């Protein structure tokens, strides 16, 4: 067995990257299938097998690893279609899930309404018990309360149960006893313990995350068990790994237990791929963007490490597990153009998705989408979409834009399509600002790594908006996240609360908590067959100035922990705080909230195949000419169209131009030129570099 496959199930397409041991790779795409995405997965696997003239059973015998990113849990949360969930919680705190943090997220929005809790009040069952923040038990578990609650859940057809007691992070005994009762009375239920999933301070953070885990857990479990069963039937003997939101992979068994760790599974692979594609050109930093059919994801990488956050939101529900700092907006190829009551044009966040899809797909969609505008403006070849697998209907795209946008606004067809193109570019530029400027970074200091089937059509104009001088479009840009999955390590995150002013803490307890988390990580990775020499740990602390509510996660070194180098830890915190918030308070005491360890199992990575230099002339790849719309010039001009699959290392293409591949199309604006690097990726640079990042020697 020598092949590896990365699979990313998106909202519109399911992407595949097949990599051979030699470094050769192949790209595949299928439409995502609902409600069972595994149908689309096997459609792609069958296509790979057919290309080799064999059946899928014989093909899978040669596959060593499949790394799978899934949107099963994401979609369940976004569409409020998780399983019916019950909550066992400390008496007097059943409404904490609905009260949230006790504040309105949008202070100046008088119409603001919080989202409905994932567990309705009748299924939030109070249990007599009490533990203090120091772990002292002042009231033992009232077991009858748990038994009565479970009977109530059974009568109401509850499928999953979340158990979250006050201060259980300090003493989990009552939660564990409650679990024993649930397991005895309702063994078929999916159960999540907060003290196992997230043993840290802040009750709402913990209860929200625990409920989310139970809400989507059975759905992920059923999907993975179905997928495993199909793979077993197809004679797959290799290893199946699941992508997590923290940028690492894990076994299906761990993913089923910690389903909330997959809520941003697919997009998390993007920054990992970005590191690989920029580091081979000598860069340590980058901003990655991925524009697919439904959404646009942006993330920032600093010193070859994606930025992590320890609390995020999905469909306005808090998840307090470490996840990559990815900003997602509803902007993709399927994003629908529409006019609001005030007569203003918008594009997204609504999406036509895979079904019915854009109007030009001729699958029943009638509303104008981003893909329709790209087609009308000439960027897409109607006869070469997905290499000709899908024929695009120009007339249908024009009709949708005319009827829904142009006529109501009194615009020409071109003006309406160009307006849609510009609006979605501005939205995506704003998304990039969220992960850069809002976190204290200048986007001009970073190369922009562009992915997604639709991304390269829009990348040049987005970069111009932000004055970014360098764009890298990987050869596998259309299946970028699938590539990132094959480049990911196994990763597990652990947390313990230890609150107090840093210089007053017990060094012995400080080190012992880190050691306990190390041991847990080591145990999990060894069960996943990772050898000792491939295991490494990353340590960090959640720190804040005394009196603050929010903290900053700061990486600490093992030597600083062992030697109790408080000045070194404090200096890193002050610098990070200054970057994020614009000030530092060196004389103010700093306190810890949580200690964290990431246990990483280093995996073998696919090789990149280098090409020999073939000169600057791209003439051998010239396909012809096509009239396209230039946004800044506001007119159609005839430009050269190149076959991306025939371009060679060193070929240089001045803008304006179009580069076509089976899976994606690249629009090169007049302000840029493109050079093919030795790994087959495209480097698009400003003709007159204005940013801090410039084109390297390719």
Confidence of residue 691 (pLDDT cuts 50, 70, 90): very low
Task: Identify the DSSP state of 447.
Answer: P
Contact 374, 664 (CB under 8 A): no
Q: Quick one: pLDDT at residue 574? A: 97
The yes-or-no verdict on residue 2 having pLDDT over 80 is no
| Mean pLDDT value across residues 25-41 | 85
DSSP states along 486-548: HTPPEEEEEEEEEEEEGGGS-HHHHHHHHHHHHHHHHHHHHHTT--GGGEEEEEEEEEEETT-
Q: Could you read off the pLDDT of 177-226 as tens digits, one per residue?
A: 999 999 999 999 999 999 999 999 999 999 999 999 999 999 999 999 99
Q: Quick one: pLDDT at residue 695? A: 54
Q: Quick one: pLDDT at residue 223? A: 92
Average pLDDT score over the chain = 91
Q: Could you read off the pLDDT of 253-298 as tens digits, one per residue?
A: 999 999 999 988 778 888 988 998 888 888 999 999 988 777 888 9
Q: Quick one: pLDDT at residue 481? A: 83
Q: Could you read off the pLDDT of 373-392 as tens digits, one per residue?
A: 999 999 999 998 877 878 99
The yes-or-no verdict on residue 698 having pLDDT over 60 is no
| Mean pLDDT value across residues 326-352 | 89
Specify the long-range contacts of residues 404-407, CB closer than 8 Å, at least 24 apart. 404/337, 404/338, 404/339, 404/367, 404/368, 405/337, 405/339, 405/345, 405/368
Using DSSP's 3-state secondary structure scheme, residue 96 falls into: helix
In angstroms, rounded to a whole number, what is the distance separating the alpha carbons of residues 375 and 155? 54
Q: Could you read off the pLDDT of 391-407 as tens digits, one per residue?
A: 999 999 999 999 999 99
Give how far Cα 537 sits from Cα of 299, 513, 556, Å. Answer: 23, 14, 11
- What are the φ/ψ torsions at residue 607 (nearest 5 degrees)? -90, 150
- What are the φ/ψ torsions at residue 401 (nearest 5 degrees)? -70, -40
Contact 622, 516 (CB under 8 A): no
Query: Dihedral through CA 104, CA 106, CA 111, CA 115, nearest 10?
Result: -60
In angstroms, rounded to a whole number, what is the distance separating the alpha carbons of residues 680 and 644? 9
Length of the chain: 698
Cβ-based neighbours of 390, under 8 Å, separated by 6 or more: 361
Tell whether the torsion through CA atoms of 270, 331, 441 and 477 is positive or negative: positive
Contact 607, 24 (CB under 8 A): no
The yes-or-no verdict on residue 692 having pLDDT over 70 is no
The yes-or-no verdict on residue 567 having pLDDT over 90 is yes
Q: Could you read off the pLDDT of 478-535 as tens digits, one per residue?
A: 788 888 888 889 999 999 999 999 999 999 999 999 999 999 999 999 988 899 999 9
Cβ-based neighbours of 286, under 8 Å, separated by 6 or more: 274, 275, 278, 300, 301, 446, 447, 448, 449, 472
Contact 169, 195 (CB under 8 A): yes
Contact 496, 200 (CB under 8 A): yes
Contact 264, 326 (CB under 8 A): yes
Give how far Cα 85 sits from Cα of 74, 185, 195, Å. Answer: 17, 16, 18
Confidence of residue 32 (pLDDT cuts 50, 70, 90): confident
User: Structurally, what CATH architecture does the domain formed by 490-601 represent?
Assistant: 2-Layer Sandwich (3.30)
Percent of the chain with pLDDT over 90: 69
User: 389: number of CA atoms within 13 Å, CB side?
Assistant: 11
Contact 628, 521 (CB under 8 A): no
Q: Could you read off the pLDDT of 568-625 as tens digits, one per residue?
A: 999 999 999 998 899 999 999 999 999 999 999 998 887 777 888 999 999 999 999 9
C-alpha of 38 from chain center: 20
Cβ-based neighbours of 592, under 8 Å, separated by 6 or more: 498, 499, 500, 502, 505, 541, 542, 543
Higher pLDDT, 631 or 75: 631
């Amino acid at each position: 067995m020598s092949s590896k496959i990365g699979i990313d199930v998106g909202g519109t397409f399911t992407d595949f990257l097949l990599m051979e041991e030699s470094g050769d790779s192949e790209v595949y795409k299928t439409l995502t299938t609902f409600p069972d995405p595994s149908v689309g997965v096997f459609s792609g696997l069958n296509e790979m097998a057919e290309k080799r003239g064999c059946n899928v059973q014989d093909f899978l015998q040669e596959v060593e690893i499949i790394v799978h990113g899934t949107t099963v849990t994401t979609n369940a949360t976004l569409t409020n279609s998780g399983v019916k969930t019950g909550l066992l919680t400390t008496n007097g705190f059943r409404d904490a899930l609905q009260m949230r943090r006790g504040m309105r997220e949008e202070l100046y929005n008088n119409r603001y309404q919080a989202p409905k809790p994932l567990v309705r009040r009748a299924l939030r069952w109070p249990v007599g018990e009490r533990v203090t923040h120091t772990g002292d038990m002042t009231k033992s578990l009232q077991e009858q309360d748990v038994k009565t609650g479970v009977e109530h859940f059974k009568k109401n057809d509850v499928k999953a149960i979340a158990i979250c007691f006050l201060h259980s992070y300090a003493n989990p005994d009552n939660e564990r006893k409650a679990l024993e009762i649930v397991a005895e009375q309702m063994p078929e239920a999916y159960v999540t313990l907060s003290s196992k999933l997230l043993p840290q301070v802040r009750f709402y953070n913990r209860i929200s995350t625990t409920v989310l885990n139970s809400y989507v857990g059975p759905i992920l479990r059923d999907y993975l068990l179905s997928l495993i069963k199909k793979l077993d039937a197809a004679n797959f003997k290799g290893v199946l790994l699941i992508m997590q939101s923290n940028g690492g992979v894990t076994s299906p068994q761990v993913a089923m237990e910690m389903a909330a760790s997959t809520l941003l599974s697919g997009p998390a692979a993007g920054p990992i791929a970005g590191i690989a594609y920029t580091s081979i050109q000598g860069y340590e930093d980058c901003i990655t963007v991925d524009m697919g059919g439904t959404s646009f994801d942006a993330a920032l990488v600093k010193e070859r490490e994606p930025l992590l956050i320890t609390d995020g939101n999905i469909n306005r529900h808090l998840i307090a597990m470490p996840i990559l700092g990815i900003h997602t907006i509803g902007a993709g190829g399927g994003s629908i153009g529409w006019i609001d009551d005030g007569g203003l044009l918008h594009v997204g966040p609504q999406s036509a998705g895979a079904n019915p899809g854009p109007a030009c797909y001729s699958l029943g969609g009638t509303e104008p989408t981003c893909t329709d505008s790209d087609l009308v403006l000439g960027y897409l070849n109607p006869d070469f979409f997905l290499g000709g697998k899908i024929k695009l209907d120009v007339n249908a795209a024009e009709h949708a834009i005319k009827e829904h946008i142009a006529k109501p606004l009194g615009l020409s067809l071109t003006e309406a399509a160009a307006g849609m193109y510009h609006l979605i570019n501005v939205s995506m530029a704003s998304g990039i600002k969220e992960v850069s400027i809002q976190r204290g970074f200048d986007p001009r200091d970073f190369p922009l790594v562009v992915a997604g089937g639709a991304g390269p059509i829009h990348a040049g104009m987005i970069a111009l908006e932000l004055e970014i001088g360098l764009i890298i479009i990987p050869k596998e840009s259309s299946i970028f996240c699938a590539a990132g999955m094959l480049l990911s390590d196994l990763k597990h995150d652990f947390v313990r609360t230890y609150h107090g002013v840093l210089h007053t803490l017990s060094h012995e307890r400080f080190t012992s908590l880190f050691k306990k988390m190390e041991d847990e990580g080591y145990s999990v990775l060894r069960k996943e067959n990772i050898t000792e020499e491939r295991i490494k740990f990353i340590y960090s602390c959640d720190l804040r100035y005394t009196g603050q509510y929010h903290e900053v996660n700061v990486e600490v070194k093992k030597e600083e922990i062992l030697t109790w180098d408080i000045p070194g830890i404090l200096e890193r915190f002050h610098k990070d705080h200054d970057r994020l918030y614009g000030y530092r308070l060196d004389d103010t005491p700093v306190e810890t909230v949580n200690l964290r360890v990431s246990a990483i199992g280093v995996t073998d990575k696919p090789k990149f195949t280098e090409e020999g230099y073939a000169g600057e002339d791209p003439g051998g790849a010239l396909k012809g000419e096509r009239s396209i719309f230039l946004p800044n010039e506001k007119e159609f001009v005839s430009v050269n169209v190149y076959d991306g699959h025939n371009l060679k290392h060193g070929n240089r293409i001045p803008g304006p131009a179009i580069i076509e591949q089976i899976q994606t199309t690249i629009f090169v604006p007049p302000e840029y030129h493109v050079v093919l690097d030795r790994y087959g990726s495209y480097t698009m640079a400003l003709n007159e570099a204005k940013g801090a990042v410039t084109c390297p020697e390719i």
